[in-house]
Chains A and B, each alone.
Chain A
């Protein structure tokens, strides 16, 4: 089976011609950098996304602290992750990169702050 994918790794948005056999990528064409092939394989076999959101705070200078996962999470768990993040009330100062929630949903990824809030 052949499938066209748009690579989301960078703004160039390359159109990838992907050849798939029994749910496995066997050939990729159209990528302008090595990330394209990795993206195609991941997108077909195990699609993942970096998840970004905000957490609300209590008694800090910022009302909302932006956060991200330190690694991509399975695409079909993103909405669940969003629900989990909404439950958090942060009440301690954080620095960029500091872990806010470890092992989100048991996925082996951490939620980290993307802005200083001290």
Chain B
């Protein structure tokens, strides 16, 4: 089995920053694995601005933020980038299996950084009763369909939850000519940033229902309508406050969960890693509000991995 000094899984804002930081801290053999065919991860579909304000002191879009890291990585010969490479198995000995088209590879990492990002909460996780028609998307999936694939998932949209991606997507649907009927948030306050409530909802007069929840989804083949109801302090439905909204599409924007399936499959707890030379950073470690914070977290991981490797001699 081939042994590499440092292997990094994931080339989003965390993995790219970790790779650069590890190189700058002296690591000279770095393998960066990315399952997509491009570097950048989710940044590529985040076409809105708001990135880089703290890291670069500039207001950049996601792809522009990614571009700055990509240019740096491509200029460093010691970082080997492998695209379309999907890590499928990990052991406690830091042996990693990944697949790429036509190939299955096994490598042993002296140091390993997991920068696998996050997944979105689904309808099932927030328990919305009713039918199970087509037309229900997570906000990030809708973002990918529109911004990467050029496909508009629907015409009349209700957004469940007020996470930042949901707010951003409310505006995005409007700009693509769709209607956004409402954003429904069960809590008293927006889950996403206030600036996104202003520039994504208020700018386009999109109705924003706080302390409300979707009580039921209706639809035979495609989503047809939802029932919405106001909730009290204990998040219980208030009798008689319900109303219906017709729509063909529902977006779920109810937050992110760290993606740590590989660690778990190896019997490693993501919150308490006691394996020397194994590091977790970015959204895989904890959910950050900003990509800038993800990258800063990853700089530390890169540096620590470098220190660990120096210690091995």
Residues of A within 8 A of B (CB): 6-11, 13, 49-50, 52-54, 56, 63-64, 66-68, 75, 78-79, 82-83, 86, 96, 114-116
| Complex interface bits, B232-276 against A, C-beta within 8 A gives 1, otherwise 0 | 000000000000000000000000000000000000000000000
B61 at the interface (CB under 8 A from A): yes
Contact A66 B61 (CB under 8 A): yes
Please list the 7 inter-chain residue pairs (A to B) with the smallest Cβ-Cβ separation, ordered nearest first. A13-B194, A115-B63, A66-B47, A8-B195, A82-B175, A114-B61, A114-B63
State the total of A-B contacts with C-beta under 8 angstroms.
Answer: 78
Residues of B within 8 A of A (CB): 44, 47-50, 53, 59, 61-64, 66-67, 146-150, 174-177, 193-195, 197-199, 203, 289-290
Contact A115 B193 (CB under 8 A): no
Complex partner residue of A52 from B49, B149, B177, CB under 8 angstroms: B49
Contact B150 A56 (CB under 8 A): yes
Given contacts A13-B194, A68-B61, A114-B47, 12 further A-B contacts (CB under 8 A): A6-B194, A6-B197, A8-B195, A11-B290, A50-B49, A54-B146, A56-B150, A66-B44, A82-B176, A114-B63, A115-B63, A115-B66
The residues of B that contact A7 with a CB separation of less than 8 Å are 195
Contact B61 A54 (CB under 8 A): no
Contact A52 B47 (CB under 8 A): yes
Contact A50 B59 (CB under 8 A): yes
Contact B64 A114 (CB under 8 A): yes
**Closest approach, in angstroms, between the C-beta of A39 and any C-beta of chain B?**
10
A60 to B248 alpha-carbon distance, docked (Å): 32
Which residue on chain B has the smallest CB distance to residue A63? B150
Which residue on chain B has the smallest CB distance to residue A49? B199
Contact A63 B195 (CB under 8 A): no
9 A-B residue contacts at CB 8 Å?
A6-B197, A11-B290, A52-B48, A64-B149, A68-B49, A79-B174, A83-B177, A114-B61, A115-B63
**Closest approach, in angstroms, between the C-beta of B123 and any C-beta of chain A?**
26
Contact B195 A79 (CB under 8 A): no
A116 to B50 alpha-carbon distance, docked (Å): 19
A14 to B203 alpha-carbon distance, docked (Å): 17
**Closest approach, in angstroms, between the C-beta of B143 and any C-beta of chain A?**
11
**Closest approach, in angstroms, between the C-beta of B155 and any C-beta of chain A?**
15
Contact A64 B64 (CB under 8 A): no
A20 to B205 alpha-carbon distance, docked (Å): 23
Contact A6 B47 (CB under 8 A): no
Q: Give the one of B175, B194, B197 with max A CB within 10 A.
A: B175
The residues of B that contact A114 with a CB separation of less than 8 Å are 47, 61, 63-64, 67
Which residue on chain A has the smallest CB distance to residue B293? A11
The residues of A that contact B289 with a CB separation of less than 8 Å are 11
**Closest approach, in angstroms, between the C-beta of A1 and any C-beta of chain B?**
19
Which residue on chain A has the smallest CB distance to residue B37? A61
A32 to B175 alpha-carbon distance, docked (Å): 31
The residues of A that contact B290 with a CB separation of less than 8 Å are 11
